[in-house]
Structure 1
Amino acid sequence: MDDRQVEQILQNPKFKEMVKRKSTLSWTLTIIMLVVYVGFMLLVGYNKEFLMTSLSGGVTTIGMPLGLSIIVLSFLLCGVYSYIANNKLDVLNEEAMREVEAITHEKGQH
């Protein structure tokens, strides 16, 4: 692949859209996870009493389900990313790849 082909691929509207969507999705999910995790760490650092409060008068505290929910959230966000990537971004990727193949075959014909 020569520089002209690479430039055509990089300027391809479907390729640009795919990169933009993937980047937006990745950053959005990353920010969600960071805000939740940092928020939990701030609670641990500055409001331990709240996290040590018993839910039902027993040994289970508020901190336990909150910590567990952060782990569950990370799995859910991975699932969201996988679902969107497989159902939306892969379609754009396939369209872009078809156009890339057309560009490469075009170069081979000359």
Structure 2
Amino acid sequence: MDDRKKALQSLANARWRVSLLLSGAMMVIYFGFILLIAFNKPLLGSLILPGLSLGILLGALVIVCAWILIFLYVRWANTKYDDRIANLTRK
């Protein structure tokens, strides 16, 4: 029973590490974008293509990055976390 408890604690710690890492990455991306809006509006207003400013492009990339980070978490959970939980509950 003690080994099972240690394995569960290890799994919980791994989940926290992954979630904090991905949450931290999203915060850096989002707040970096917000800080650009706050302190460098002319840069974000510059046009890349007619009708497409750098600000719009970066805003869309923030959303895409969120999707990618969600995908990474779901993939990790489905391939690592769920298997380890299933192994712990079968014993």
Matched, 1:62 2:54: yes
- 1:19 matches 2:4: no
Q: Which runs of 5+ in 2 are unaligned?
A: none
**1:49 and 2:42 aligned:** yes
Which protein shows a greater Rg?
Answer: 1
Partner residue in 1 for 2:66: 74
Is 1:87 aligned to residue 79 of structure 2?
Answer: yes
Name the counterpart of 1:103.
none
Structure 1: stretches of 5+ with no match in the other structure: 1-7, 100-110
- In the superposition, the TM-score normalised over structure 2's length comes to 0.91
Identity of aligned residues (%): 27
Higher strand share: 2
- Structure 1: which 4+ aligned runs deviate by more than 6 Å? none
- Normalised by the length of structure 1, the TM-score is 0.76
Aligned length: 91
Amino acid in the other structure paired with 2:44: L
* Structure 1 residue 98, shift from structure 2 partner: 2.2
Taking only aligned residues, the RMSD between alpha carbons, in angstroms, comes to 1.7
Q: By how many angstroms is 1:96 displaced?
A: 1.7
How far residue 67 of structure 1 moved from its aligned partner, in angstroms, is 0.2
Q: Does 1:31 align with 2:15?
A: no
Contact residue 14 and residue 95 of structure 1 kept, 8 A: no
